[in-house]
């Protein structure tokens, strides 16, 4: 029995030992599991924190991208920007002028901790700004302007200095998106946003009307056409070494001006005072003796008074005519007998004088009065010229008939051509896009207008015509040249070409004028299919050439090639 008990006792001892070992192993496993769970919890927590941060930054980035914020916050600056002037746009809504938030850079020396350090930085980065006077101002502890109207790049550069003493004063600045492209039309405003020239001055009150700030002032101008004409005219100044030039494109049915270019021009964003005469608006303010373009007026008057027809032959045309103490002659030798249309096509002074004498002074006076050629033009600008006083004394009828001894503005001349070719109605030039209900006055009959259009077309197409270089295929250009000289200095000349197109049913008048052009000896002309070099300084060899280049460029935009002629033929047939 004792032995058995001992065995059991040994068994129990072993048993208890076994259970003890199992308990310890389980404990260890539980501890390991707890540690693992704790580590996993920490990982989940960190993941959640990182995910939250990414989510917060993501939302912030989206918020910033969808909202406009000022890059630089300046104490005292207004959070809401309200424009002081309305936008100006072209006929297609393209922005031309707008008010934006700009800054002046000022220095408050009292806030500058290290004046010497800031002065060194300014000298290195803005050597042109820090004058000796401004450098001394640092030590006088007096608030002063480092520069007014700083650019955005200058502002960013100054801001990077991290200097509290640099103050950015906000103000409203007028910017012109096309720099010098519309300088003679748009004009400028002063630092207080008051218009001082051009459209800005003429419509100053309208542009500051608080009730219309969200409504832009819409012009009749076309930015694309303005650019193309400006580009071709600039090329012409180089090619013909001219001192200046101008061009005008106008709708002859309603007077809308699509383009007005005067060269040289200037950058209106620079706010510089322009005093030199060469920078004036040559189309509206320039007053010139335009020469032979007046011959068309003489012929139109004679036709309208039934004194002649286009085919009437003027016989025995002399080489020269004595008028008082003056002698009038032609620059070239012409046949003795010329038809009325040939007198215009070849541009005969003597032939025109003989027709003018048939018309008489009284009818010519009435024509000049109705066309307002001797008055300041009417347009939404203040830069308008006044023709030189004119008296109808001896030989005035004769000289006026071919455009000498009388001055006018290019705008008035182009407007008169519009009336001669649009069916005879006097239109009013206009720069503002709006509904126009004009009661047009009649200058000549529809019949006379049609006859003039046919004659002007022949000036371009006839082998004896003076404007062959403007015969651009598909656009049916008609027009008249004018070459005049300064009597005080024969080295100064003015070459002009006024064209209308398409001549079968005119829609546009284009005037191109060059001041003091020279012969382009190296220019190769395509003259009726023949390559030749130009050798004469006449409108037919420069102004006409430029007009042809312009019409070829702007024609596709105006959409008048070929299809209109086909439609016109259909209308006439029906």
pLDDT digits (tens, 9 = 90+) for 241-294: 999 999 999 999 999 999 999 999 999 988 777 778 899 999 999 999 999 999
Domain boundary among 217, 246, 279: 217
Residue 390 in any domain: the answer is yes
Q: Is the pLDDT of residue 2 over 90?
A: no
Note whether 408 and 268 are same-domain residues.
Answer: yes
Note whether 213 and 239 are same-domain residues.
Answer: no
Residue 304 in any domain: the answer is yes
Q: Which residues does 408 contact at the CB level (< 8 Å), separation at least 6?
A: 287, 288, 290, 373, 374, 387
Note whether 278 and 298 are same-domain residues.
Answer: yes
Q: Sorting pLDDT into bands at 50, 70 and 90, what band is 36?
A: low
Q: Sorting pLDDT into bands at 50, 70 and 90, what band is 76?
A: very low
Which residue's structure tokens are 């408050």? 108
- Give helix 543-558 / helix 223-239 axis angle, nearest 10°: 160
Closest CA relative to residue 332, chosen from 347, 353, 315: 347
Q: CA 533, CA 519: separation in Å to the nearest integer?
A: 10
What is the value of pTM for the model shown?
A: 0.80
Closest CA relative to residue 513, chosen from 179, 197, 284: 284
Note whether 202 and 284 are same-domain residues.
Answer: no
Which structural domain, as residue segments, surrounds residue 289? Answer: 226-573
Note whether 325 and 426 are same-domain residues.
Answer: yes
Note whether 33 and 150 are same-domain residues.
Answer: no
Q: CA 268, CA 261: separation in Å to the nearest integer?
A: 14
Q: What is the total count of domains within the chain?
A: 3
Q: Alpha carbon of 257 to those of 129, 204, 381: distances in Å? A: 43, 20, 13
Q: List, in sequence order, every residue forming a beta bridge with 383; answer none if it has no partner.
A: none
Of the candidate ranges 49-58, 118-127, 311-320, 551-560, the one whose mean pLDDT is the lowest: 49-58
User: From the centroid of its chain, how far is CA 224?
Assistant: 8
Note whether 210 and 239 are same-domain residues.
Answer: no
Contact of 414 with 509, CB cutoff 8 Å: yes
Q: CA 344, CA 346: separation in Å to the nearest integer?
A: 6
Query: Where is pLDDT greater, at 56 or 544?
Result: 544
Note whether 417 and 487 are same-domain residues.
Answer: yes
Domain boundary among 189, 217, 245: 217
Note whether 204 and 268 are same-domain residues.
Answer: no
Q: CA 532, CA 544: separation in Å to the nearest integer?
A: 16
Note whether 338 and 414 are same-domain residues.
Answer: yes
Predicted local distance difference test score (pLDDT) of residue 61: 79
Note whether 41 and 164 are same-domain residues.
Answer: no
Write down the mean pLDDT value for the chain: 86
Note whether 212 and 230 are same-domain residues.
Answer: no
């Amino acid at each position: 029995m004792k032995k058995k008990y001992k065995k059991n006792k040994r068994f129990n001892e072993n048993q208890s030992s076994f259970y003890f070992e199992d308990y310890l192993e389980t404990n260890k496993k539980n501890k390991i599991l707890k540690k693992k769970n704790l580590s996993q919890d920490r990982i989940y927590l960190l993941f959640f924190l990182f995910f939250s941060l990414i989510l917060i930054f993501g939302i912030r980035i989206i918020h910033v991208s969808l909202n406009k914020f000022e890059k630089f916050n300046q104490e005292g600056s207004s959070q809401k920007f309200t424009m002081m002037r309305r936008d100006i746009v072209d006929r297609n809504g393209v922005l031309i002028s707008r008010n934006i938030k700009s800054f002046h850079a000022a220095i408050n020396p009292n806030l500058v901790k290290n004046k010497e350090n800031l002065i060194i930085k300014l000298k290195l980065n803005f050597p042109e700004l820090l004058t000796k006077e401004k450098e001394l101002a640092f030590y006088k502890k007096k608030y002063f302007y480092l520069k007014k109207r700083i650019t955005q790049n200058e502002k960013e550069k100054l801001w990077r200095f991290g200097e509290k003493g640099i103050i950015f004063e906000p103000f409203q600045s007028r910017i012109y998106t096309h720099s010098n492209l519309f300088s003679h039309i748009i004009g400028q405003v002063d630092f207080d946003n008051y218009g001082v020239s051009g459209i800005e001055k003429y419509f100053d009150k309208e542009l500051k009307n608080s009730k219309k700030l969200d409504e832009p002032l819409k012009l009749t101008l076309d930015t694309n056409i303005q650019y193309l004409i400006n580009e071709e005219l600039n090329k012409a100044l180089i090619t013909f070494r001219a001192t200046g030039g101008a061009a005008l494109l106008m709708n002859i049915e309603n007077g809308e001006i699509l383009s007005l270019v005067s060269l040289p021009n200037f950058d209106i964003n620079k706010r510089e005072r322009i005093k030199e005469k060469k920078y004036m608006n040559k189309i509206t303010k320039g007053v010139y003796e335009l020469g032979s373009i007046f011959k068309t007026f003489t012929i139109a008057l004679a036709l309208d008074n039934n004194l002649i027809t286009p085919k009437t032959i003027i016989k025995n045309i002399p080489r020269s005519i004595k008028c008082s103490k003056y002698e009038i002659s032609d620059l070239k030798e012409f046949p003795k007998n010329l038809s009325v249309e040939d007198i215009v096509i070849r541009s005969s002074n003597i032939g025109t004088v003989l027709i003018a004498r048939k018309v008489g002074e009284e009818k010519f006076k009435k024509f000049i009065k109705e066309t307002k050629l001797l008055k300041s033009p009417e347009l939404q600008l203040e830069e308008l010229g006044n023709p030189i006083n004119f008296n109808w004394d001896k030989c005035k009828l004769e000289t006026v008939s071919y455009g000498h001894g009388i001055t006018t503005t290019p705008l008035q001349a182009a407007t008169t051509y519009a009336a001669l070719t649009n069916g005879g109605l006097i239109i009013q030039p206009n720069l503002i896009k709006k509904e126009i209900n004009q009661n047009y006055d009649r200058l000549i009959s529809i019949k006379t207008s049609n006859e003039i259009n046919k004659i002007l077309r022949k000036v371009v197409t006839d082998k004896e015509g003076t404007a062959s270089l403007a015969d651009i295929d598909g656009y049916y250009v008609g027009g008249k040249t004018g070459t005049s000289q300064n009597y005080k200095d024969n080295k100064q000349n003015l070459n002009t070409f006024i064209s209308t197109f398409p001549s079968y049913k005119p829609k546009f008048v284009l005037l191109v004028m060059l001041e003091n052009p020279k012969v382009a000896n190296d220019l190769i002309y395509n003259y009726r299919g023949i390559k030749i070099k130009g050798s004469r300084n006449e409108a037919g060899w420069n102004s006409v050439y430029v007009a042809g280049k312009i019409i070829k460029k702007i024609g596709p935009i105006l959409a008048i090639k070929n299809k209109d002629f086909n439609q016109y033929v259909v209308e006439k047939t029906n």
